[in-house]
Structure 1
Amino acid sequence: MFAGLAFMQPVKRWVNYSAEKKGNADIKVVSFNTKTGMKDRAEVNAYLKAQEADVILLQEDAGKSYGLKGYEIVSPNGVLTVLTRHKIISQKVLRPQDDDDKIPGMQIDIEIQGKIYRFIDVYLFPFKFEKQMVKLNGDTDANEQKVKDIVKRLIPTFKTHQDQVSLIREAVENSPYPVILAGDFNSVPNSYEYYHLSEDLQDAFLTAGKGSATSFHDYKFPIRIDYVFSSKSLQAVSYRVDRSVSLSDHYPVISEFSLNNK
């Protein structure tokens, strides 16, 4: 029984069957790694327009071709893009001191219904695996070499992630406003990145998600690397990975929140 309880929470980060949530959704948030150029930009534009979201957080996205009426767009580095129908109070790129190519996030303070919320769009540095790199075959020597090559890639990327997570945590901890943290973490749910970035925040999938949270579909096995976290003062009332579209190697993640303005 105790072993089952110990494994229950980690498993729920991949597959969850939450009870039906009650309450009105005050805000709709879409997080999506669009993998710029992978599909027709017009299709992505049409999809985002149809969502009628309050805030859209995009990763691997230059943001220059969007013309959504009524939205203000912020895309300072050609990788992270935020669109919103509400008033932007301030914005800041979370910039490492020594490497502008590894910017992990962007914070946008947005006023919604008379109150300010901090949105952080996250894109942690990718591991840059090719499919053939992780596909093993019957050749023991070749497979052993593949494993060694994977480890060589993992170690420096983990170090980069450690520095990037520290920058993002600073933005969360120093926020005077409730936080919604979302994006492509390039990390699985039982990772260092998940544990540290979710600290003192709620995983919207655990609160309001159902079924599988798999969001990256370029490999045959299921991987969850896209997340939506929020301050505990915000109540997630829905969470959905939209598998009805294949506009990228990621599926869009859509969450709705009750803002609990008091």
Structure 2
Amino acid sequence: MQTSKPILTSLVWLYLACLVAATLLMYALGDRWWPATLLLFGPRWILGLPLLPLLPLALFRRRFLLLPLGLSLVIFLWPLLGWNVVLGSPRAASGASVRVLSCNTKDGHIDRDALAELITSLSVDVVALQELPKWFALPILPGWHAYRQHGVAIYSRYPLEPGKRVWTAHPPHLRKRLSALSAVIDAPQGRFAFVAVHLPSARYGLQNVVSRDMGVDPAKAGVLTDETSGREAASRQVLSLVESTPLPTIVAGDFNMPRQSRIFRDVWGTLDDAFAQTATGYGWTFHDEFRGLPVPLSIDHVMTRNGATPQNFMVGPDIYSDHRPIIADVALPPVE
């Protein structure tokens, strides 16, 4: 018993140091250095597993170690996994609001009736869909307006005017794919720009670096590095489209990057994030497996600018896609 106490103490402090290092690595070098990018998009929950034996051991053998373990738990749950806390109420807005919904349909393999029911029951005004096959038809209310192009779509209760598009590379596809579709929507709440996005994924590069037996192949890290550069360039191209309009603007869709991503913070950090400003929790929108391990991530977002102000954000139910629908209310500047 006595000899195990120094070992336990060392393990607890080593674990705290490792969590701090992993968190700093992810925030500082995620999307910059491939090991940090693996951590950013990987099953980060694994790093919390040592708490399961360490907490009861500390409780029954060295209770003062509960202090560093408590700090470890806070680091794990908050900055590492990405718990969001909102202090106070959302920014006040004097204009009327619109409700938007976005969902990646997983090539149409979702419960379309469940999606239509969600749109109807929540009185959604504008819908952005990604990975939309040509055969996909959304059974929503008659009279809605639609703008569909190459797997991305905007549906609106109100008249819309189709706008510009952005095409970028989405490895491993050789041809460029649609990354953003824009429209101007003429709503009673006010006229605003809406941009539906589907940015490139890091999946191809990650699968090259990590083999099927969970071995890491640094020789293939260049694929992930090149893909990361392409993802940043795609984000900047879409941001240029977003910034090209003076109208209040709502951007919604599958960004394929979590909030801890350097690209997300550097490129999209000037916009208002509906989840970050109005919601508490993790906001996980993506649930999949990577090499057999479950990976929850928050990679679908609603962003605003030019006076459009987020009022709330929620993650919808499972409708048989690897992405959950996201819903946000956005206040528009008052109509003059």
Measured against the shorter chain, the TM-score band is: 0.7 to 0.9
SS in 2 for 1:222: strand
Give the distance between the partners of 1:132 and 1:171, measured in 2 at CA: 31
Would you say the 8 A contact 2:100–2:125 is kept in 1? yes
Q: Which residue number corresponds to residue 258 of structure 1?
A: 331
Aligned counterpart in structure 2 of residue 66 of structure 1, from 138, 153, 172: 138
Q: 1:80 to 1:197 in 2, by over 3 A?
A: farther
Corresponding residue for residue 297 of structure 2? 223
C-alpha separation in 2, matches of 1:113 and 1:203: 24
TM-score (norm 1): 0.80
Equivalences for 1:237-248 in 2 at 5 Å?
237-242=311-316, 244-248=317-321
Aligned pair partner of 1:112 in 187, 196, 199: 187
Q: Paired residue for 1:54? A: 125
Q: In the alignment, which of 163, 167, 179 is matched to residue 91 of structure 1? A: 163
Distance 1:95 1:131 in 2: 24
1:66 and 1:224 map into 2 onto residues whose CA distance is: 25
The CA deviation string for residues 62-101 of structure 1, in whole angstroms up to 9 with x for no partner, is 3641232231111111x1111000111332222359x753
| Secondary structure class of the residue paired with 2:200 | coil
Alpha-carbon distance in 2 for matches of 1:237, 1:30: 14
Q: Deviations over 1:119-146 (max 9, x none)?
A: 1111111233588975886xxxx6233x
Among 254, 260, 275, the alignment partner of 1:190 is 260
Aligned residues of 1:185 and 1:193 also touching (Cα < 8 A): no
Q: Is the 8 A contact 1:203 1:230 kept in 2?
A: yes
Rounded Cα–Cα distance in structure 1 between residues aligned with 2:208 and 2:241: 37
Unaligned runs of 5+ residues in structure 2 are 1-19, 28-74
CA distance in 2, matches of 1:224, 1:82: 21
**What whole-Å deviation, never above 9, does each CA across 1:29-81 have from its counterpart, x for those lacking one?**
1111111233343443333343321110111113641232231111111x111
| Percent of aligned pairs sharing the same letter | 22
The CA deviation at 1:206 is 1.6
- Tell me by how many angstroms 1:113 deviates: 2.2
Structure 1 letter corresponding to 2:327: I
Matches of 1:216 and 1:203 in 2, distance apart? 17
Residues 167 and 200 of structure 1: CA distance in aligned 2, closer, same or farther (over 3 Å): same
- The aligned residue for residue 178 of structure 2 is 103
Deviates more, 1:40-49 or 1:29-38: 40-49
| Amino acid aligned to 2:85 | Y
Aligned to 1:203: 273
Q: Which has the higher contact order (CA 8 A, sep 6+)?
A: 1
Distance 1:135 1:241 in 2: 32
Larger Rg: 1 or 2? 2
Greater helix content:
2
Give the TM-score normalised by the residue count of structure 2: 0.64
Task: Tell me, in whole angstroms, the C-alpha distance in 1 between the residues paired with 2:175 and 2:191.
Answer: 28
1:17 match: 85
Q: Where in structure 1 are there 5+ consecutive unaligned residues? A: none
Match of 1:35 in 2: 106
RMSD of the alignment, in Å? 3.3
Deviations 1:200-230 (A, max 9, x none): 3111112111211211111323311111110
Q: Secondary structure at the match of 2:215?
A: helix
